[in-house]
């Protein structure tokens, strides 16, 4: 993985694009190439390249209306004499700040460094802090969980028709937006587990509901994976010393009913229901993180397969 600073994107891609746009606008306003060069701090040869359209520009920046508006303001100010270099720089820095906060610079930065996806703007705008690290850890845990599920032998046979998901909640999560999970769920296709996308916060309602209920009763439990309820899986859990806890399948007030159940009985590693009309039987496997829950689920599947 290459390390790319957002400042590199600014210098190598945004600044040349803005200079080319400014050169063209200043030329339209009657300035000579030398006057334009003096304003932009470049050579006359560079200005010639800009105004002739031979300069390489980043279309993502050039086509953005905020870039065009900034270039127009700076060009008007420099051409009329109402703006000096200090004012022009202030306008440009404001544009850069906007683009770094979930804007085109952030998009390009994350494209250059995929590990930043979903966190790049927080890192650049807020810097490294506890909240950013917690978000990163939660997302990483779900990614690890998906790798475990996708590679565990026999796991595809335990993916329910509605799909599987894996989630990890932030320590202070109050609703599903504080739970990282996989958008669109995980499905079994031709005997293999398919993960459709990278994890995001707020991507799951059902798994998040179970995690939040468990976390209210036991703050150490912040992760879960859902699989199909099967007798061999439940027997495998008992064989490993885990006593699965059954609950009512009804969706109405499920979060509150689970909270009450967990307050009375604690949060066991395996909780299941046997379904109802229009509701597929589902088992939730809990852990401190999604990765820990996925590891337990893989072990349960392996034990169930071995006993078959």
CB atoms within 10 A of CB 277: 6
pLDDT for res 122:
59
Q: CA-CA distance, 95 to 70, in Å (whole number)?
A: 7
107, part of any domain: yes
* DSSP E strand stretches across the chain: 166-169, 179-181, 187-189, 192-194, 200-201, 223-228, 245-246, 270-272, 282-287
- pLDDT exceeds 80 at position 234: yes
Are 165 and 186 in contact, with CB atoms under 8 Å apart?
A: yes
User: Average pLDDT in the 94-104 region?
Assistant: 84
My answer on whether 185 and 278 are in the same domain is yes
Q: Provide the domain count of the chain.
A: 2
Q: Which residues pair with 200 in a beta bridge?
A: 181
My answer on whether 120 and 140 are in the same domain is no
CATH number at residue 302: 3.40.225.10
User: Average pLDDT in the 175-184 region?
Assistant: 95
User: Tens digits of per-residue pLDDT, 156-176?
Assistant: 999 999 999 999 999 999 999
Cα dihedral 108, 112, 115, 119 in deg (nearest 10): -20
Nearest-5° Cα angle at 277, 274 to 281:
25
pLDDT for res 4:
78
My answer on whether 190 and 290 are in the same domain is yes
- pLDDT exceeds 70 at position 127: no
My answer on whether 144 and 194 are in the same domain is yes
Token readout for 57 is 């520009």
Are 44 and 34 in contact, with CB atoms under 8 Å apart?
A: yes
User: Average pLDDT in the 181-197 region?
Assistant: 93
My answer on whether 12 and 93 are in the same domain is yes
Token readout for 116 is 């930043």
User: Tens digits of per-residue pLDDT, 33-82?
Assistant: 999 999 999 999 999 999 888 888 999 999 999 999 999 999 999 999 99
| Residue finishing a domain among 71, 103, 125 | 125
1, part of any domain: no
Q: In b/e form, how buried is each residue of 209-218, taking b as 16+ CB within 10 angstroms?
A: bbbbbbbbbe
Query: Which structural domain range is residue 260 located in?
Result: 130-307
My answer on whether 187 and 49 are in the same domain is no
Residue percentage of the chain with pLDDT more than 90: 74
User: Average pLDDT in the 123-142 region?
Assistant: 74
Average model confidence (pLDDT) for the chain?
Answer: 90
pLDDT band at 119 (very low <50, low <70, confident <90, very high): low
Q: CA-CA distance, 223 to 167, in Å (whole number)?
A: 5
């Amino acid at each position: 993985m290459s390390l790319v600073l957002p400042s590199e994107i600014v210098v190598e891609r945004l600044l040349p694009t803005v200079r080319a746009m400014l050169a063209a606008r200043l030329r339209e306003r009657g300035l000579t190439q030398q006057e334009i060069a003096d304003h932009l701090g470049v050579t006359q040869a560079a200005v010639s390249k800009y105004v002739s359209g031979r300069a390489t520009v980043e279309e993502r920046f050039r086509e953005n209306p905020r870039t065009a508006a900034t270039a127009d303001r700076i060009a008007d100010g420099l051409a009329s004499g109402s703006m000096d270099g200090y004012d022009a720089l202030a306008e440009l820095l404001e544009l850069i700040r906007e683009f770094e906060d979930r804007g085109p610079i952030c998009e390009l930065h994350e494209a250059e460094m995929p590990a930043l996806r979903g966190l790049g703007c927080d890192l650049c705008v807020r810097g490294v802090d506890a909240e950013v690290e917690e978000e990163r850890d939660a997302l990483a845990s779900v990614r690890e969980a998906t790798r475990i599920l996708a590679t565990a032998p026999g796991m595809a046979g335990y993916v329910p028709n509605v799909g599987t998901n894996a989630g990890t909640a932030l320590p202070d999560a109050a609703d599903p937006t504080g739970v990282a999970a996989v958008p669109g769920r995980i499905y079994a296709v031709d005997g293999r587990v398919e993960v459709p996308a990278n994890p995001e916060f707020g991507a799951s309602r059902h798994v998040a509901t179970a995690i939040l209920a468990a976390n209210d009763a036991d703050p150490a439990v912040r992760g879960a994976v859902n699989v199909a309820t099967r007798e061999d899986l439940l027997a495998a859990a008992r064989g490993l010393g885990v006593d699965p806890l059954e609950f009512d399948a009804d969706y109405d007030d499920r979060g509150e009913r689970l909270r009450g159940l967990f307050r009375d009985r604690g949060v066991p590693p395996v909780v299941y229901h046997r379904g109802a009309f229009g509701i597929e039987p589902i088992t939730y496997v809990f852990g401190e993180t999604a990765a820990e829950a996925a590891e337990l689920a893989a072990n349960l599947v392996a034990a169930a397969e071995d006993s078959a």
